[in-house]
Amino acid sequence: MKNISLKDNIIKTIHIIKVIYASSKGFFLSFILQSIFTALFPYISIYFTYLIIDGIIDNLALNDILIYVYWMISLNLIVGLIRVVLTYMTKTFSIELSYNLDSKIASKTFELDYALVEDNETMKLLEMAEEGCYSNGGPTHYCEGILGGMLSSVLSIVYGIILMIPMLTIVNTTDNSLIVKILNNPYSALIILLALLIPAYVSKYIMKRDNEKSYEIMMYNINANRRSGYFFQIASNYKYGKDARLFQMQDMFIELMKELREEADISWRAYCIYNTKMMAISIFGNKALALIAYVFVGLKAMYGLISVGSVVSYMASITLLSLAITTLIERYSKLHLFNKYLDNYFTYLNLETKKEYGTINDLDINNINIKFDNVSFKYPNTNDYTLKNVNLEIKQGKKLAIVGPNGAGKTTIIKLLCRLYEPSEGEILINDIPIKDYTKEVCDMLFSVVFQDFKLFSYSIKDNVAAGLDGDDEKVIKTLKKTGLYDRVEKMSEGINTMIYQRSKEAGVEISGGEAQKLAISRALYKDSPIVILDEPTAALDPKSEAEIYENFNELVSNKTSVFISHRMSSCKFCDEIIVVDHGEIIEIGHHRLLLSNNGLYNKMWNAQAKYYLK
């Protein structure tokens, strides 16, 4: 772990404080006040105990001594209650803080280019951001444990020094012995200072090495944690249960998790042994040198240079000062470590998208013509082109089919069209204007897509249909009727408000694969975009069943521009034009009969599949 200067640490800390303050002002203020009163609390008893003991020895009136007792009890009670309230407030506001910080990661993930999110390096950075944000308690502990600990320590040092100032006073005495002269000299207090600072300096070195080791371990275990989290997801998600049981995969998963655990155990065990040794050295040094300070105070008391009550006050203050100085250095060392952890969080938040949008916001949705102009594309970190020199037109109101073998590049065309990816070469035009010149709102409005790997969420039927749009009950029901799903939904206990799946609510309803497809199609219809795309969401069905769904869907979007993607010919024979894609290139264009009359790939694929859908 690279060393960071004091200046850099301060700059980073200020930046993190600003983020935490912006995320939850209530949390920030409550933990500051909590730190102030936490530091003050023990010194109330120390100060009044000193007054009470000296008052008893000096034969002070009982009422005067009782006043000290009442003040001590009252202040302890008041400060104690304030601490309880502030602790409650801090814990309450910590929920707000965590939510807002989580939201920043989620929002950033949604904002990033889809191609970047799919990249393994980005996923690793996301894991590091989450690990950095939550290691050792995350930002909540960063404030309460680190910043709060430092503030409390600084204040404790200030309070302690104030209580010990009288020890520097020169006392009139008739004893002229050398030891008394030394003890009665204000500079002799440097003995206490050295006794406190030397172990603190040793602790600083120990903590620095310990933090370096801790950070190395965390970085080493990130990949293991990611894989372990995946196995835990498999074990806890009922959707994986059928395959795991039927193929007896439990032992395999348990063995893999065991290997990961043992790998992590070895590294953490080595770190724990190292940490224990270092802490033992630090504690021994602190106690040994603190003893010197106690002897110094005891000698001053023996020679009558301080009162008995002062002995109690100074001894307690030295103990608290020793703890405060050590804690301050320990927390500063941890501050360096936590700043490194949170660096990963901010690095992720500072990722920049490469996708650019323009300012054109005017587009006639009843007159949209799309053109692929010599478009080529290759995925990140690959040298091979997935698409090469694609020239394609999608005309207003037309039904276009894109067919071809698996892996031909069909879905990639759609991802480029929806701007999930950007072309490596060439450009996509809408009404002869580059698509990147339009605003994000226009690009988002243009397309409704049902992908082959569409996802439904464990929310209500209504939420899944309306998605990010405002949910209109009547429109949702009307859409479900179009896709033939409403009869099933109507019989559910809560109608369109029924939850699906078992992840969000105990009463979640399981739906079949066919019902899920209809629900995904309903979502696409509800959006009511001018261009609707069906990207093989029924690929698991037989060709005849798939063709029927495509034909029904074609009727539902008869007034819209539509794109149907499949590697099966029967699904798209009703389209105005069929594009045949193979190895990333368009090799045939034409309507169904024309392509059948050719001796090309479409003809071969049709004949190969004909037995599944011809009577």
One domain, residues 428 and 305: no
Q: Nearest CA to 422 among 379, 358, 469, 388? A: 379
Range with lowest mean pLDDT among 153-167, 350-364, 493-507, 526-540 = 493-507
Domain boundary among 315, 349, 383: 349
* 581 inside domain: yes
One domain, residues 301 and 384: no
One domain, residues 11 and 100: yes
pLDDT tens by residue, 134-180: 655 567 777 877 888 888 888 888 888 888 888 777 878 777 788 88
CATH number of the domain to which 36 belongs: 1.20.1560.10
Average pLDDT, the chain: 81
pLDDT tens by residue, 562-571: 898 877 777 6
Q: What is the pLDDT of residue 3?
A: 55
Q: Nearest CA to 481 among 533, 473, 513? A: 473
* Contact indicator for 458, 503 with CB cutoff of 8 Å: yes
One domain, residues 212 and 110: yes
**DSSP-assigned letter for residue 188:** G
Task: Give Cβ neighbours of residue 481 (< 8 Å, ≥ 6 apart).
Answer: none
Question: Which class for 108: exposed (0-12), middle (13-18), buried (19 or more C-beta within 10 A)?
Answer: middle
One domain, residues 405 and 553: yes
Residue 309 has a CB neighbour count (10 Å cut-off) of 18
SS (H, E, C) 504-563: CCCCCECCCHHHHHHHHHHHHHHHCCCEEEEECCCCCCCHHHHHHHHHHHHHHCCCCEEE
CATH number of the domain to which 410 belongs: 3.40.50.300
One domain, residues 121 and 29: yes
Task: Give Cβ neighbours of residue 313 (< 8 Å, ≥ 6 apart).
Answer: 46, 47, 49, 50, 163
Domain boundary among 349, 381, 398: 349
Domain that residue 567 falls in: 370-452+536-613
One domain, residues 321 and 391: no
Range with lowest mean pLDDT among 227-231, 569-573, 602-606 = 227-231
* 405 inside domain: yes
Calculate the CA dihedral of residues 593, 599, 600, 604 and round it to 10 degrees: 80
Q: What is the pLDDT of residue 70?
A: 93
One domain, residues 212 and 284: yes
Alpha carbon of residue 156 to chain centroid: 35
pLDDT tens by residue, 456-468: 888 888 888 888 6
User: What is the number of structural domains in the chain?
Assistant: 2
* 271 inside domain: no
One domain, residues 389 and 339: no
